[in-house]
């Protein structure tokens, strides 16, 4: 009997009726709480909707890792490269006055571009952090290049050549070496 109190006849071949908790499929197996006999749904029997052909269900088969309705997130984001790029970029800024800063800057730039690529593909959520790693790595690299260029230009200048010849003539005499260094610093600060 339905909730409105009206009696409806069962579909031809039997059907589900109130008070029954399951169905019987082919082969005589019975689901938990199901009933055998009149009124129980029996798969493959005439009446109701026919069973779909094998491999053609109501929903397409989902492959591994596929989800319906736009998909579920692929798990935790892979933010490691963006974080590493930022940390190495900051270290490159701090050590930019040494050759180590240039090396750290190059690594930060590479990791930052890889991290940005992951963020654009949706594999990571820290694209801004990766970009900051690229920028700080580039600044650290530029500082190192600037220091090297300044050092080369100073030692190729007249004052640098004078220092080199003075140190060559001083040998291992510490007082002569100190006087060469003082003379060089006076020439540079002029």
pLDDT digits (tens, 9 = 90+) for 98-133: 889 999 999 999 999 999 999 999 999 999 999 999
pLDDT of residue 27: 47
Burial class (CB in 10 A: 0-12, 13-18, 19+), 66: exposed
Q: 159 to each of 167, 173, 178, 182, 187, how far by Cα in Å?
A: 12, 21, 15, 11, 6
pLDDT digits (tens, 9 = 90+) for 13-56: 555 545 544 444 444 444 444 444 454 445 555 556 666 666 65
Nearest Cα neighbor of 166 from 187, 148, 190, 184 is 184
pLDDT of residue 51: 65
Residue 138 pLDDT > 70? yes
HSE toward the beta carbon, residue 30, CA cutoff 13 A: 10
Nearest Cα neighbor of 119 from 85, 153, 151, 146 is 85
The alpha-helical segments, DSSP class H, found in 12-98 are 80-94
pLDDT of residue 15: 52
The span from the CA of 121 to the CA of 157, in Å, is: 51
Domain edges within the chain: 83-155, 158-189
pTM of the predicted model, to two decimals? 0.54
Residue 67 pLDDT > 60? no
List the single range of 58-62, 85-89, 92-96 with lowest mean pLDDT: 58-62
List the single range of 14-28, 130-144, 169-183 with lowest mean pLDDT: 14-28
pLDDT of residue 187: 82
pLDDT of residue 46: 54
pLDDT of residue 62: 55
pLDDT of residue 61: 55
pLDDT of residue 159: 86
Supply angle C-alpha 37, 2, 36, rounded to 5. Answer: 10
């Amino acid at each position: 009997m339905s909730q409105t109190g009206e009696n409806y006849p069962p579909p031809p071949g039997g059907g589900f009726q109130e008070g029954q908790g399951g169905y019987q499929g082919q082969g005589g197996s019975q689901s938990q709480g199901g009933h055998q006999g009149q009124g129980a749904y029996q798969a493959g029997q005439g009446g109701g909707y026919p069973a779909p052909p094998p491999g053609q269900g109501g929903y397409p088969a989902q492959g591994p890792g596929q989800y319906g309705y736009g998909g579920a997130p692929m798990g935790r984001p892979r933010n490691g490269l963006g974080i590493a790029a930022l940390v190495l970029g900051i270290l490159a800024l701090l050590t930019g006055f040494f050759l180590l800063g240039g090396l750290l800057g190059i690594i930060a730039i590479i990791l930052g571009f890889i991290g940005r690529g992951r963020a654009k593909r949706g594999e990571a959520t820290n694209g801004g952090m990766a970009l900051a790693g690229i920028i700080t790595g580039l600044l650290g690299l530029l500082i190192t290049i600037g220091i090297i260029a300044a050092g080369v230009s100073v030692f190729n200048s007249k004052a640098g050549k004078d220092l080199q010849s003075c140190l060559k003539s001083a040998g291992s005499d510490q007082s002569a070496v100190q006087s060469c260094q003082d003379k060089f610093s006076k020439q540079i600060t002029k």
